A and B are shown apart, each in its own frame.
Chain A
Amino acid sequence: MIRYAYFPGCASESTALSTTLANNFVFGRIGIDLVEIKDWNCCGATSAHTLSEPLGLALPARSLAWAEKNLPELDVVTGCASCYARLKLTNYRVRQDESARYMVEKIIEAPYEAKREVYNFLDILSPADVRGRIEEQIVRRFKNLKAACYYGCLNIRPAEVTGAKDRENPQAMDELARLTGAEPVDWGFKTECCGAAHQNDAAFETRPLARRILENARACGADVILTACPMCQLNLEMRQAEYARKRKDEKRGKASFPLLDVVLPPPEKETIPVLSITELLALSMGAGSGRLRLDVHHVPVSGVLSKGFRDENESEVMI
């Protein structure tokens, strides 16, 4: 049994409900035990560090310090890229800078030495032995499902902090998706920012960010976008109706976003389903869509399910 100290993050029990159900299903099947950090608090993502650096470091440090004291032999994992970025950065800063550590310890009134690592789900699902366990649990493989793996910016960047090697064209999620029979497409926006953090305060700048991701995935032939972050997930799903409206406007000559004279063609269908990588794995491991509460998605995922699964003989040949 592999064990990790688990930092769920605020989205886990609200907007990322279906993803959390899938996480529980997948980790249960492959024997990874997530021990929830007791009394964990908001990681401060998106706003705390922009207002006050000490606050931005102290919020994650409080939860990390609890894990360090009470689960000293466990590394920390979180399923949200925003949480990951904050936790990882706090770890990094405390290790690098003695004065930052002193400051943080004073604020949280507890010792914190950043002894253990912080990981995201892609990190812990990627090692060869874990992949082997996943493969053992997979009972059905998707047929003709083209997937655009979207890593999001914060799972990768900044590379000095995350230590990510493939920063522009990462492969970890593509390889996991392949296990389910999905075919990852080669596309351009794997690590581009979706603008989730600033959709409310800087809409004019951030709306196009998510839109270009969705449209490129579609243009490159994807049937589904896979995510590794509930923030990306929410953002990519919630904006789709608005973009569809906007595209209609643009067709009538009201274009405002594209500059120079280059216009991307409107996609054939108006929406594209977005699933988290663990949801895809769970489906492939046999979980039903009802059990995973896939009905809570803003964009219907029926497109994915209707693709169907390979028959056994074929899957043996294909994989």
Chain B
Amino acid sequence: MSKIGVFVCHCGTNISSVVDVYKVAEAAAQMPGVSYAAEYKYMCSEPGQQMILDAIKEHGLNRIVIAACSPRMHETTFRKMLKKSKINEYLLEIANIREQDAWVHPPGEEATEKAIDLVRMAVAKVAKNEPLKSSLIPITKKALVVGGGIAGIQAALDIADAGHEVVLLEREPSIGGRMVMLDKTFPTLDCSACISTPKMVDVSAHPNIKLLTYAEVAAVKGYIGNFTVTIRQKAKYVNQDICTGCGICEDKCPKKVTSEFNKGLSDRPAIYKLFPQAVPAKPVIDRETCLMLQNGKCGICAKVCPVEGCIDYEAKDVEYDEDFGAVILATGYKLVDWGGMYDEYGAGRYPDVIDGLTFERLVNASGPTEGHIQRPSDGKEPKTVVIVKCVGSRDPKKGKPYCSRACCMYAAKHAHQILDKIHGARVFIFYIDVRTPGKNYEEFYDQTRKDGAVYVRGRVSRIYSDGEGLVCQGEDTLLNKQVRVKADLVVLETAMEPNEGAGELTGLFGASRDVNGWIQEAHPKLRPVETQVGGVFLAGACQGPKDIPDTVAQASAAAAKVIGLLNQDEMETSPMIAAIDESKCSGCGACEPICPYRAITLETIRSREGRFTNAERVIAKVNAGLCQGCGACTVACRTGAIDLLGFRNAQILTEVDALWQ
């Protein structure tokens, strides 16, 4: 016999100004199974909760309906509250009369009627609810951080400092990511390498961090607390244990290829470190370009290497499994291939039209020009530089619809650097808007303008050669006129997009991505560092364009989440997951491909079937650790064998029936 208590919340005046809450409580008291109904100004407050607990005791209630805001807001609050009572916390229903009623309807009779209907549905459902118990799963106390940029470095250090083991995995030969490519960082203009390389060294020296470079994730199995990740260690062909990092092999290597790190402004050998301050500070052989590995002729590096047996051309890729309790994805970004999008900017035909990252290498003290700004075509120092912002960003037609966030600030920084380094230089910055929401950002922008950078509001429509040099043509929307600027160098501040391979990697972990390919956070405001997959977190620009301060903050936040998880020995799982009635399951497998979390597998079981005592048949099984309770499988099941606990088909139908009573 259910004794249901209904509690109607005013939510200050949020609900009560539209819905007649007294009337709702009165009507609720008359509903079948309801023994007590009341209303209160703030049900979620301490006195509100106490009122519910008192009523439970006084009236011997065994099920609760709360008519208030969305369950996403306070369902957990009230579940926690019920733990203090004798009632199982799943014998609770929330009737959402705020978001789905008071906030979307005008005050009046009809809103009140709708509230009563919503309460009636919740009452009908709660009567059918059954007590549920969460189970405990053990946790592997080790974290995997994928991506060794500043986000991954920061997250790994924070987790390791908290005393947990971390594996930091990076596919390039060195950690450091984009940040080590930069010259100076806004708004303080401190040297990017000076603040990031010490952190890289910390990573390599930390006793709790295992650093894997030149490695990739090949496969992922398992669920929160219990991931098994297959790691593919690419062959480095240099024995990292005995290599002294002397660099003789790099000097003597006869093969020269374009340096990716210097954005094509210089060459590197086939046996190489990514950059001089690389961590680990030992070279690898690029097998795609190495003469020895490609056609078996050369072997100079092995000859000149002073350590015997250090260079091993026979090395092979190795794959192995490792267990983790939590994962942080920190795969970062790359700049869009603007050439393919913007033929009007020359599509790469003009060597002096470069992107922002190339400019960073050009102005970097450890870059190919040792920090002297020299234009790529003839090495001359440019006197007039045009900076074009939003190339590929905020351009749904040709590029990306979103704002890349960091460009306004680094455009100002580039302008500052040019004006600082080149005497008498002139800088024109074409912009749509100037967005500087960050601490000391606006001040930096303001200073850049005072330094002499000319901001022109409008887009550049065309960059062409007038036979002598480049001309940027665009509209000055403040003058309402077309303007042309003859430029020695053009820097395009291009859009960020998800890094190469980030999509496949996200897929391996079962996490999802948004329309632009960025990894989707579980909630844009309240769960910004989690993915929808339990135990998989994200940090930095893989979630969306970010500057360094935001990236580092997010990395530390993700690390905090991981530490919180790894500090537990076991964790509770939500009991609201799919359950399969084995007697009804025909083993058709329709549910398996539908599950977005890959929680359903088909298994062969032996059971008694009529007169066969040991019959074999296939049924679907749900992995309680992986299942997130989305309910997609229940819809796909042809025999109705799958139910979502807490949302059984029968419970939902009762709710629908109640609406028509």
Contact = CB atoms under 8 A, between A and B. Distances in A.
A264 to B, nearest CB: 6
Dominant SS among interface residues on chain B: strand
B347 A169 contact: yes
A33 to B, nearest CB: 35
Given A259-B479, A262-B486, A187 B347 contact: no
Nearest to A215: B466
B6 interface: no
Contact of A258 (B343, B476, B484): B484
A220 B465 contact: yes
Contacts of A189: 462, 464
B347 A168 contact: yes
B342 interface: yes
Interface string A206-239: 0010001001100111000000000000000000
A189 B343 CA distance: 12
Contacts of A166: 343
A219 B468 contact: yes
Contact of B483 (A168, A192, A221, A260): A260
Contacts of B486: 262
Nearest to A188: B464
A186 B465 contact: yes
B484 A188 contact: no
Interface of B: 342-344, 347, 349, 428, 462-468, 471, 473, 476, 479, 481-486
Nearest to B461: A192
Interface in A70-120: none
Contacts of A208: 482
Contacts of B466: 188, 215-216, 219-220, 264-265
A49 interface: no
Contacts of A167: 343
A131 B395 CA distance: 37
Given A169-B343, A220-B465, A220-B466, A262 B484 contact: yes
Central interface residue in A168, A169, A189, by most chain B CB within 10 Å: A168
B484 A219 contact: no
Contacts of A188: 462-466, 471
Interface residues of A, number: 22
Given A219-B467, A262-B484, 14 more contacts: A167-B343, A168-B343, A186-B349, A187-B464, A187-B465, A188-B462, A192-B462, A216-B466, A219-B466, A219-B468, A258-B484, A259-B483, A260-B428, A262-B486
Closest 4 CB pairs of A and B: A188-B464, A168-B343, A219-B467, A219-B466
Interface of A: 166-169, 186-189, 192, 208, 212, 215-216, 219-221, 258-260, 262, 264-265
A264 B464 CA distance: 13
Contacts of B343: 166-169
A313 B323 CA distance: 74
Nearest to A264: B466
Contacts of B476: 259
A319 B615 CA distance: 80
Nearest to A187: B464
A260 B465 contact: no
A259 B481 contact: yes
A264 B469 CA distance: 11
A215 B484 CA distance: 14
B482 A168 contact: no
Nearest to B464: A188
A259 B483 CA distance: 6
Interface SS, A side: loop
Contacts of A259: 476, 479, 481-484
B482 A220 contact: no
A259 B476 CA distance: 10
A93 to B, nearest CB: 20
Contacts of A187: 464-465
B395 to A, nearest CB: 14
Contacts of B467: 219-221
B488 to A, nearest CB: 12
Contacts of B347: 168-169
A203 to B, nearest CB: 15
Contacts of B471: 188, 262, 264
Of A188, A189, A258, A265, most B-chain CB atoms within 10 Å: A188
A263 B473 CA distance: 13
Nearest to A191: B344
Contacts of A262: 471, 484-486
Contact of B344 (A168, A219, A260, A265): A168
A258 B484 CA distance: 8
A260 B342 CA distance: 25
B484 A260 contact: yes
Contact of A260 (B349, B462, B468, B485): B485
B479 to A, nearest CB: 7
Contacts of B464: 187-189, 216
A123 B523 CA distance: 51
A215 B467 CA distance: 10
B481 to A, nearest CB: 6
Contacts of A168: 342-344, 347
Contacts of B473: 212
A166 B463 CA distance: 16
8 contacts: A166-B343, A186-B349, A188-B464, A219-B467, A259-B479, A259-B482, A259-B483, A262-B471
Nearest to B466: A219
Nearest to B484: A262
A186 B346 CA distance: 10
Contacts of A186: 349, 465
Q: Which of B473, B484, B486 has the most CB of A within 10 A?
A: B484
A220 B346 CA distance: 14
Nearest to B428: A260
Contacts of A219: 465-468
A189 B462 CA distance: 9
Contacts of B479: 259
Nearest to B342: A168
A265 B428 CA distance: 21
A186 B465 CA distance: 9
Nearest to A258: B484
Contacts of A216: 464, 466
A250 to B, nearest CB: 14
A192 B474 CA distance: 13
Nearest to B463: A188
A219 B467 CA distance: 5
A216 B486 CA distance: 13
Contacts of B483: 259-260
A220 B344 CA distance: 16
A262 B428 CA distance: 13
Nearest to A167: B343
A299 B349 CA distance: 32
Contacts of A264: 466, 471, 484
A59 B464 CA distance: 38
A210 B428 CA distance: 26
A46 B484 CA distance: 28
A259 B465 CA distance: 18
A118 B650 CA distance: 61
Nearest to A267: B467
Contacts of A212: 473
B245 to A, nearest CB: 46
Nearest to B462: A188
A216 B465 CA distance: 8
B489 to A, nearest CB: 15
Nearest to A209: B482
Contacts of B428: 260
A265 B468 CA distance: 10
Contacts of A221: 467
A54 B470 CA distance: 44
A221 B486 CA distance: 18
